[in-house]
Amino acid sequence: MKKLLILIFICLTFDISAKDFSKKGKLITLDGDTLACDIVYQGRKKSLDLVEIFTDSGIKSYSPFEIRGYKFDDGQFFVSKVLITKKDTMNIFAEYLVQGEKDLFTYRRVDADCYALSLSANEIREIPFKIKEVEIEEVDYQGSMTSHIGYLKYYFRDCPSVFPDIERINAPNRNALVRLTRKYNETVCGYGSCVLFVRKKDPVRLSIEPAYLVEVLGEEKAKFYGVYLSVWLPNSDERLSVKTGLLYNRFKNREKYGDFIKVRDFDYYQFPVLMEYVVNKNFISPKFDLGFCGHFFYQDFQDNYTLQGGAVTCLGGAGFLMRFSDTFLLDVEVMKDLFEIKNSPYCPKTLYAKVGLQIRLNLAKQK
């Protein structure tokens, strides 16, 4: 029961308020003035119809058309638009992907990325797309309809040279639509004439972290050395990363045979796969990890290095990052094997204290 409560607690931390996470940006007023500010990052779904900024008197909220738009310093640019769909019309903050003679926008609804094209200065229309289900011999199959192809050909009808590009789009997606809209603008206006903005992809951000772990509760106080690798997942959440690594420890296993105790040396490897959630971007940032860990035990027996056993555990952790800079961060954490999915007599179910130096690498942005 205690382990279950710990697991529930860690899971609930993933719903911590986004008001603790802000990014530098600029607010664009209805008069066209630009104001530098800290903007609350709420994720793409929540930012559809509301933006919040930090002011001297607290947090202030704006809805679409109360401001012209806002942009983050990392390149994201949102503007107030009237979105027209097949079933509804609504005011939203749409994110620019391409700004030119014809504009391309994106936004997120439910669990899917949606795309829209400009109709007028304030109105945009969603690019239609639907998955159809077909039953063949009592088996359901999914296939995509081609309504988006017809719509795109009609929308870009004054530029037939882009039709082959449209026909290759099996389903609306960011890369294909950005290339298509950019090609249209450059064909109609001339290269570099009317493309004012193209949203770059988020950089690929990796973190390499040499780490040291020590058992807190284990009798041997085993020490582990290793390295973690993290990959940032901005399309899911700015605060989320997937983390893996390899840790090593050599330990002695004592087995009793009558009056004798046989000591066997084992090489112990841990292979964790975790989702890491960082609450904010302050100097000290709380963080939580949850995932799985593979435990592998090898022994050099009669000149054969063989696998003697293994286990899989559910692993959870909590701690903080201390930011010395955007590149170097100190990682301090307490980790616990919550329960075993596959048992092993060698696997110590214990509590670990971990310290590591996280080194972040931002690869070049792609257009």
- Reading the chain (367 residues) residue by residue, the pLDDT tens digits are 444 444 444 444 444 444 446 788 999 999 989 999 888 877 655 678 889 898 888 889 999 999 999 998 877 899 999 999 988 899 999 999 999 889 999 998 776 789 999 999 999 999 988 766 545 555 554 455 678 899 999 999 999 999 999 999 988 888 899 999 999 998 988 777 777 778 776 667 788 999 998 877 656 677 889 999 998 866 666 678 899 999 998 876 666 666 666 667 778 899 999 999 888 777 888 999 999 998 888 887 666 777 777 888 888 999 999 988 878 999 999 998 888 876 666 566 678 889 999 998 876 544 4
**DSSP code for 364:** P
Residues 194 and 216 in one domain: no
Closest by Cα among 197, 201, 170 to 181: 197
Same domain? 96 vs 156: yes
**How far is 239 from 72, CA to CA, in rounded Å?**
16
Same domain, 247 and 347: yes
The reply to whether 38 falls in a domain is yes
Cα separation, 116 vs 125, in Å, equals: 5
Is position 1 within any domain?
no
Domain total of the chain: 2
Beta-bridge partner residues of 315: 291, 337
Identify whether residues 117 and 192 lie together within a single domain: yes
Among 240, 200, 235, which Cα is nearest to 364's?
200
Quickly list DSSP for 51-63: EEEEETTEEEEE-
> Are residues 171 and 254 both part of a single domain?
no
Cα–Cα distances in angstroms (integers) from residue 293 to residues 49, 123, 212, 260, 319, in the given order: 40, 50, 16, 34, 18
Same structural domain for residues 185 and 225? no
Report d(CA 12, CA 230) in Å as an integer.
22
Does 2 fall in a domain? no
Residue 161 is assigned to a structural domain of this protein? yes
Inside any domain, residue 128: yes
* pLDDT the model gives residue 21: 65
In whole angstroms, what is the distance from residue 24 CA to residue 75 CA? Answer: 11
* H helices present in the chain, as ranges: 2-12, 43-46, 147-155, 163-167, 174-189
Neighbour count for residue 358 (Cβ, 10 Å): 20
- Give the distance, in angstroms, between the CA of residue 168 and the centroid of all CA atoms in the same chain: 28
The Cα-based distances of 186 to 102, 153, 167, 182, 195 in angstroms read 11, 17, 19, 6, 7
Q: In this predicted structure, what is the pLDDT of residue 361?
A: 83
For residue 5, being part of any structural domain is answered with no
Decide which of 178, 198, 218 is a domain's last residue.
198
Is there a contact between 107 and 96 (Cβ–Cβ < 8 Å)? no
Task: Report DSSP state, residue 64.
Answer: B
Q: CA end-to-end span of the chain, whole Å?
A: 50
Q: What is the pLDDT of residue 9?
A: 44
Both tokens of 133, joined, read: 């289900």
Which CATH number belongs to the domain containing residue 285 in this structure? 2.40.160.20
- Whether 251 and 147 share a structural domain: no
Identify the domain boundary among 163, 198, 233.
Answer: 198
Do 234 and 117 share a structural domain? no
The reply to whether 6 falls in a domain is no
141/284 same-domain check: no
Tell whether 164 and 243 lie within a shared domain: no
Same domain, 181 and 226: no
Residue showing tokens 């401001």: 67
Q: Which helix (H) or strand (E) holds 167?
A: helix 163-167
What pTM was estimated for this model as a whole? 0.66
Of 164, 198, 232, which residue constitutes the final position of a domain?
198
Query: Which tokens go with 96?
Result: 């620019």
Same domain, yes or no: 224 and 147: no
The whole domain housing 271 covers 205-362
